[in-house]
Amino acid sequence: MTGFGIDLGTANTVVCHQRRGVVMDEPSVMVVRTSEARSRRVRPLLVGHEARDLMGRCPVGLAAVRPLHDGVIVDLESARAFVVGVLGKIAAPAWQRGRPRAVIGVPAGATALERRALLEVAHEAGIRKPEVIPEPIAGAVGCGLDPLEPRAHMVVDIGGGTSEITAFCYGGVLSHRSSRIAGDEMTLALYRYLRSEHQLLVGELTAESLKCRQDTDEGLSSVVQGIDLATGRPRLLTLESAEVLDALRPTADAIIAALAGALDDLPPQAADDILTDGITVFGGSSLLRGFDKLIEAAFAFPVRMADRPLTCVAEGASRCLADPDVVRAYQDTFVEAT
């Protein structure tokens, strides 16, 4: 029986079937009844896109819940319900008859307790022999790098809740930095900027869509709608792309500082490999316009953007089903977050 590679992310959940490719790529959100939210039997009413559409507009009695925070499970029952909902969405008659296998990406900085919680949740939700792999390693495999070869590589994974910078070689981690400054923090920075500089109150979805629009609106301006804090009435605001990117600059700079720290920790020969080959960048927030140029300007080495930055972790995890050596080599290399 084949299986799945799963990237259970703070913002998005991606599932890649070993043969069929990506079978699900949807927001990590579910809608539950508030009466069940803290109970021992949570049943999601909506999962993924439909649930996200209700964020910020949930009627009384319902709540939109994100089962993961900063890349890890905080509430076991919500997470189990979410994984059951995900498996229900991708169910095909052939595997409904049996329990599928899965390799699941987890932050390289996840603690042993957080990893055990995820394995427990996956098993209870119906996955046979779930295994975990550090997300940066899965993403590297998904981008075509070989984490078992005797040459150092460095990847930067900037997701919704976490940014991880990992250098690895021959089945082991050389240096690692993890930060909670990622896409969600960028959205929050933009929300705060609009509030303080333009006295405009916007919803989370509006702030996020304004942030993501910058990759296509090169040199253009964007119109954003919100509530005027002085009058309490709706107001439209036109913002130049450059202004939005300036508001996001401190968060991007914090990620670049973490990257500098990870480079400082490298032994000289490994640093030489990376300065020659450059680094590979993936995760949804790497799509922020100009982010690769900021890194290139700061370090003067080549920056390779992943072809599929949002799905390469799940794709790499699914490839590892057929290559257990990678999972085995990296299973003891998690760097416990302090």
Interface residue list for ligand ATP (CB under 6 A): 7, 9-12, 28, 71, 159-162, 182-184, 208, 211-212, 215, 283-285, 287-288, 310
Cα radius of gyration (the chain): 20
Query: Can you tell me the distance from the alpha carbon of 64 to that of 57, in angstroms, rounded to the nearest whole number?
Result: 9
> Can you spell out the DSSP letters for 143-208?
TT--TTSSS-EEEEEE-SS-EEEEEEETTEEEEEEEES-SHHHHHHHHHHHHHHHH-EE--HHHHH
Which candidate, 252, 254, 292, places its Cα nearest to that of 177? 254
Which candidate, 324, 31, 4, places its Cα nearest to that of 171? 324
Min separation Cβ 227 and ligand ATP, Å: 22
Q: Is position 54 annotated in a ligand binding site?
A: no
Q: Is position 162 annotated in a ligand binding site?
A: yes
Query: Can you tell me the distance from the alpha carbon of 137 to that of 139, in angstroms, rounded to the nearest whole number?
Result: 5
Cβ atoms 159, 14 nearer than 8 A: no
Q: Is position 35 annotated in a ligand binding site?
A: no
Min separation Cβ 309 and ligand ATP, Å: 7
Q: Is position 11 annotated in a ligand binding site?
A: yes
CB-wise, 103 or 270, nearer to ligand ATP?
103
Q: Is position 276 annotated in a ligand binding site?
A: no
CB-wise, 182 or 271, nearer to ligand ATP?
182
Min separation Cβ 148 and ligand ATP, Å: 23
Q: Is position 92 annotated in a ligand binding site?
A: no
Length of the chain: 338
CB-wise, 199 or 209, nearer to ligand ATP?
209
With residues binned 3-state (H G I as helix, E B as strand, rest as coil), the percentages for the chain, rounded to 5, are 40, 25, 35
CB-wise, 162 or 270, nearer to ligand ATP?
162
In angstroms, what CA-CA distances link 7 with 32, 107, 235, 245, 318? 22, 10, 38, 28, 10
Q: Is position 78 annotated in a ligand binding site?
A: no
Min separation Cβ 101 and ligand ATP, Å: 21
CB-wise, 152 or 310, nearer to ligand ATP?
310
Min separation Cβ 284 and ligand ATP, Å: 2
Residue positions forming the annotated binding site for ATP: 10-12, 160-162, 208-211, 284-287
Residues flagged as binding site: 10-12, 160-162, 208-211, 284-287
